[in-house]
Amino acid sequence: MYRTLLLGLIVLMVAVGRVKADEGMWLPILLKEQKFAEMRKKGLKLSAEEIYSVNQACLKDAIIGLVSEGPDNLRSFCSASFVSDEGLLITNFHCIMSYIERFSTPENDFLKYGYWASKREEESLCRGLMVKQLVRMEDVTDRIMEGTEGLSGAEYSRKIDENGKKLAEEVTKGKKLEMRVQSLFANNQYIMSVYRLFKDVRMVAAPPMSISKFGGLSDNWSWPRHTGDFAFLRVYVNEQNEPRAYNQKNVPYKTTNYLKISLKGVKENDFAMVLGYPASTKQYIPSFGLEAIIEKENAAKVQIRGEKLAILKQEMEADPGLRLRYSTRISSISNSYLKWKGEIQGVRHMNLIEEKRREEEAFQQWVEASPERKAKYGTVLEDMREVYKELSEYNLANDYFSEAGLNGAEIVPFIGKFEKLVAMYNGRKPVKEASQKSESNRLIGLTKQFFGNWSYEIDRKTFRNMLVRYYEGMPMKFHTEVMENAMKRYGGDVEKLSQDLFANSIFTKQQDLLDFLMSDKENGVKVITEDPLYQLSINYYRVFVERISRQRGAWQMKMLPLYKIFQEGMLEMKQDQVLYPDANGSLRVSFGTVRGCEPEDGLSYRYYTTMDGMYDKYLNNPNDSEYYLPKKMRDLYQKQDYGRYGDKDGRLRVCFLTDAHTTSGNSGSAVVNAKGELVGINFDRLWQGVASDYRYHRDICRNIVVDIRYILFVLEKYAPSSYVFDEIHIE
């Protein structure tokens, strides 16, 4: 498979100084030339080939990306790693929480009690979940850019696509492999990643939320942390050890390499390395781009999600039974909400926008010092600034559409799923009856699923508030006609408007909707198209396509060649420096040391936490479910029954901090010691340092890791089965 990726609006604005120690998410194929000497100086005991090689088993073989089935099935959302030769994977609980939620019922609540398989037959298929394993990575810049000299715009893009497709055919033809080409440094460099894609992934073990989400939303992005955020999956393959879709005859994958586990723990200043698939960063975004993100886009999204969270919390307090149904959704909403808040504060704290303006001034001075450079790069910075003035309007509109429109209330994207059926009956060309029936059956299944996890009143209130946010935040040209008419008809009374829309819509009544789907829809489809809630929801999509998406794409295309030219200038100006590209979902290596920090004046963080702190949180918050500790865990603590996992001082460590550079997508990443042994699983960052996506700051940027010894303690002492524990190889 081939898909050329343009990395959005990425500008590489290189800092005036050299890359700082511990900064960067490095390509494993370039470690030996770029950073290996520094890593050895910090304590690394491995050779470069033991980290990345195509000729021998190495760490890269054990590092996995979690991906979802879909059109872009190589885009990972979390990381994982093999910990046995039987395809056993360890990752974060929060990465696969939605699957555990799906398996759960009021009678068999895996979120409350944990998911513990005791034999292979009890491992449950995670439908739609796949994993990718890197086979090799290669710089293919020359191949991808072949024949592009003198081309620009659409012609340039077509040639890039053509070259990529040709390369993909060569690499994957006759092989069970997938290939992805990604650009670096604003399309000045291209890398190819070749993967095995495994489609049979099954749930093996996960602790209850009282362990895996201990501290809940209150502790998210914060320290001290006592969260056992881990889970285990298993990869299954055919009898030839090759990827295959789910089949009862599939067997566990025989891995080429897996991570060995160390019980020695970590101490301050120990070398630490993080291996995973970080999603994206904007380390080099220019000042005007960063200012728009922080002061406009993030500010709007924080307000919108804050209102959603307030509604959810209020309703869940009134009806505790909603917690099971909405746990994943509230976690997802809150996670981004806190991240964006942290980015705003972090950027302001670092005075980063002003710092980037100074860097841009230095670049312009360098350009002006040479007639040749002035001719090539003289106006590029100002040209980008002018284009971005237009682009930023559409970026903000896109955020409002996504947060308050499409995903404002759950009913909106659900209604959108009926558009295909409507088109079948209203289209000019006749559609086969079998196709119509198939689509109806698909929607019947989706309808049952939707209403099984939907609250009428939560969604109505959310719809009401999001309608206001969209109406007030969006410029008039992005308003929908249906919305305008409805607001005028109700005199701006959104409470009455939302009540009437929900009360009179077929989409809020499960049985009416199912009856419609199982009836003769030739004449009945009019019920759908004339439904006011349907009309408003579909109008969101139409406004997006006609007034936002196309225009935004056009401005992005104008920006891309400017970025490329600008990057050429930056690379030329900094040609004596070792630079790292922004994260883009490819395998990366980050490294640093285990260390605490002082993120704010008067605030000092020790580099680790213990079960003492966990028990204190439980005692001090007796009525808070976020800090509930199961009785068995309390008993183990009171007996100090830690087995071989406790420290010399008799305490059990739960989490620790490192200063490795991480971001979204690094959730579930392996954290290894100087010997390449697994010492923990990365799961979060300190909120004071989340602005590291825009500029790494060694003093405050910390990633949070659950100690592998705590994980093993839970598996051996708490889990009802030794099934997983017995399989893991401990050094």
8 A C-beta contact, residue 193 and residue 182: yes
Give CA–CA dist 642/373, Å, rounded.
65
For the stretch 549-557, contacts whose Cβ atoms lie closer than 8 Å and that sit 24 or more positions apart, written own/partner, are 549/398, 551/394, 552/391, 552/394, 552/395, 552/397, 552/398, 555/387, 555/390, 555/391, 555/394, 556/8, 556/9, 556/391, 557/153
Cα 713-252-111 angle, rounded to 5 deg = 45
Could you tell me the CA-to-CA distances from 330 to 102, 316, 324, 344, 614 in Å, in that order? Answer: 15, 10, 11, 21, 23
* 3-state secondary structure (DSSP) of residue 189: strand
Task: Give the rounded distance of the alpha carbon of 105 from its chain centre.
Answer: 27
8 A C-beta contact, residue 11 and residue 388: no
- Residue whose entry in the numeric block shows the structure tokens 């997802």: 332
Provide the terminal-to-terminal Cα distance of the chain, rounded to the nearest Å: 39
Handedness of CA 474, 304, 469, 449 (dihedral sign): positive
What pLDDT, on the 0 to 100 scale, is given for residue 522? 67
- Residue whose entry in the numeric block shows the structure tokens 């012609």: 155
Question: Chunked in runs of 10, what are the mean pLDDT values of the chain (731 residues)?
Answer: 33 39 88 93 96 96 96 91 98 95 87 95 96 97 94 87 95 93 92 97 97 93 97 98 96 96 96 97 92 96 95 83 74 87 92 95 96 96 95 96 94 94 76 84 94 92 96 92 93 95 96 89 80 93 94 93 89 88 96 94 95 98 92 98 94 98 96 98 94 92 97 97 92 74
Give CA–CA dist 92/225, Å, rounded.
15
Length, in residues, of the chain: 731
The pairing of beta strand 178-184 with beta strand 129-139: unpaired
Give CA–CA dist 562/384, Å, rounded.
6
Tokens of 675: 């010997």
Closest CA to 217 of 631, 667, 627: 627
- Residue whose entry in the numeric block shows the structure tokens 């005036």: 16
Task: Pick the catalytic residue from 22, 61, 200, 229.
Answer: 229
Could you tell me the CA-to-CA distances from 128 to 133, 194, 382, 442, 646 in Å, in that order? Answer: 17, 21, 45, 16, 39
Task: Give the rounded distance of the alpha carbon of 94 from its chain centre.
Answer: 11
Task: Give the rounded distance of the alpha carbon of 330 from its chain centre.
Answer: 16
Type and span of the H or E element at 358: helix 352-368
Cβ partners under 8 Å of residue 404, min gap 6: 304, 466, 467, 469, 470, 473
Question: Can you name the residues that pair with 184 across neighbouring β-strands?
Answer: 189
* 3-state secondary structure (DSSP) of residue 610: strand
Instruction: Return left, alpha or beta for 624; rule: phi > 0 is left, psi -120 to 50 is alpha, else beta.
Output: beta
User: Where would I find the beta strands (DSSP E) of 216-328?
Assistant: 231-237, 251-252, 271-276
Could you tell me the CA-to-CA distances from 323 to 101, 231, 488 in Å, in that order? Answer: 11, 21, 37
What pLDDT, on the 0 to 100 scale, is given for residue 424? 86
Give CA–CA dist 234/123, Å, rounded.
8
Give CA–CA dist 285/102, Å, rounded.
39
Tokens of 557: 């295309």
Give CA–CA dist 137/126, Å, rounded.
28
Question: pTM value?
Answer: 0.86
Task: Pick the catalytic residue from 84, 586, 590, 667.
Answer: 667
Cα 63-339-269 angle, rounded to 5 deg = 55
Give CA–CA dist 53/136, Å, rounded.
8
Q: How many CB atoms lie within 10 A of CB 388?
A: 22
Question: Which amino acid does the sequence have at 64?
Answer: I
Secondary structure of 522-562 in HEC code, one letter for each residue: HHHHHHHHCCHHHHHHHHHHHHHHHHHHHHHHHHHHHHHHH
Give CA–CA dist 676/261, Å, rounded.
9
Q: Is 649 a catalytic residue?
A: no
Give CA–CA dist 487/40, Å, rounded.
65
8 A C-beta contact, residue 659 and residue 702: yes
Q: Is 94 a catalytic residue?
A: yes
* 3-state secondary structure (DSSP) of residue 17: coil
Handedness of CA 726, 710, 206, 262 (dihedral sign): negative
Give CA–CA dist 672/675, Å, rounded.
8
Task: Pick the catalytic residue from 22, 76, 94, 684.
Answer: 94
8 A C-beta contact, residue 373 and residue 425: no
Closest CA to 97 of 126, 123, 120: 126
Closest CA to 229 of 616, 652, 708: 708
Cα 414-505-495 angle, rounded to 5 deg = 95
Tokens of 215: 């501290």
Could you tell me the CA-to-CA distances from 181 to 61, 160, 298, 488, 584 in Å, in that order? Answer: 19, 10, 30, 50, 11
What pLDDT, on the 0 to 100 scale, is given for residue 600? 86
Is the previous residue joined to 106 through a cis bond, with omega within 30 degrees of 0?
no
Cβ partners under 8 Å of residue 635, min gap 6: 641
- DSSP class of 106: S
Question: Can you name the residues that pair with 179 across neighbouring β-strands?
Answer: 194
Q: Is 226 a catalytic residue?
A: no
Task: Give the rounded distance of the alpha carbon of 302 from its chain centre.
Answer: 18
